[in-house]
Amino acid sequence: MIEEVIEKLAILLQGRIPSRIDIERFDNEIEHELGEMLNQFIDFMQEIQEIIVPLSQGELQDIKLQSKNFLASPFKELHSRLLHLTWQATQVANGDYKQRVDFMGDFSEAFNSMIISLDHNEKLLKKKIDELEKALSHITKLEGILPICSNCKRIRLEGAAPENQDSWIQIESYISKRTEAQFSHGICPECMKKLYPELMK
C-alpha cells in the first residue's frame, strides 16, 4: 500500500496525473481512508490541470470547478477576475470610461491609468475635431473658372448671358457674396497718379 501511495505522489510531484488507487481491496480502515483521500487529491489535481490550460488560453466561459476543490481556490478567483476584466474591457472598447478595476494591485493601477488616458486623449481629440470643424465652417472655397472682363475686371455671373451688362458684377461684390471676406477701399500709387495727378505733385 505505502509503496503504491509513494509512487502516485511521485507522479503528482512530477506534474503528471496518476491513475486512482483501487481502494476496494483494502480491508484495513486506515488504508481505505488513506486511499480515498489520495484519490480525492488525484481528482482535484486532475481537475486543476484540466482547467488551467483553457484558462491560460483565455477560454473563460465553460470553466466550472467542483465547489469542494479548495486546492483550486486561487484559480477560481483568477477565473472570476478574468471574467470581470473581460466584461470591463468590453465596456471600455465601447467607449465607457467610467469603469475601474479595484484591488488587483499593479494591474488595477495600469488598467485604471489606461482608461484615464484613453478618456483624456479622446476628449482632447474631440476638442480638436470640434475646433477644426468650427474653423472649417468659416472657410468658403471658390472653385472653377471665373469669366472676367479683361478691361474693367467685372465677373460674369454663372450661367448669365454675356451680352447682358447686368450679368457682370464688380469683383468685390462677387467675392463678398460667396465668402466671408470683406473689402476696404483705397487707391494704389499708380492709380493715384493716373486719377489725381495734381495730388501727386
Residues binding other proteins (CB under 8 A): 66-70, 73-74, 76-77, 80-81, 83-84, 87-88, 91, 94, 96, 98-100, 102-103
> Nearest-CA neighbor of 59 among 49, 51, 68, 67?
51
- Residue closer to other proteins by CB (options 78, 169) is 78
Block residue for cell numbers 480491508: 27
Nearest distance from residue 66's CB to other proteins, in Å? 8
Count CB neighbours of 25 within 10 A: 10
> Sign of the CA dihedral 20, 25, 31, 37?
positive
Nearest distance from residue 74's CB to other proteins, in Å? 8
Cell of 152: 474693367
Nearest distance from residue 156's CB to other proteins, in Å? 57
DSSP helix/strand/coil, 155: strand
- Residue closer to other proteins by CB (options 9, 85) is 85
Nearest distance from residue 37's CB to other proteins, in Å? 16
Nearest distance from residue 114's CB to other proteins, in Å? 15
- Residue closer to other proteins by CB (options 103, 141) is 103
Asked if 46 and 17 touch (Cβ cutoff 8 Å), the reply is: yes
Asked if 190 and 200 touch (Cβ cutoff 8 Å), the reply is: no
- Residue closer to other proteins by CB (options 78, 157) is 78
Q: How far apart are CA 138 and CA 141, in angstroms?
A: 10
- Residue closer to other proteins by CB (options 39, 69) is 69
The DSSP call for residue 95 is T
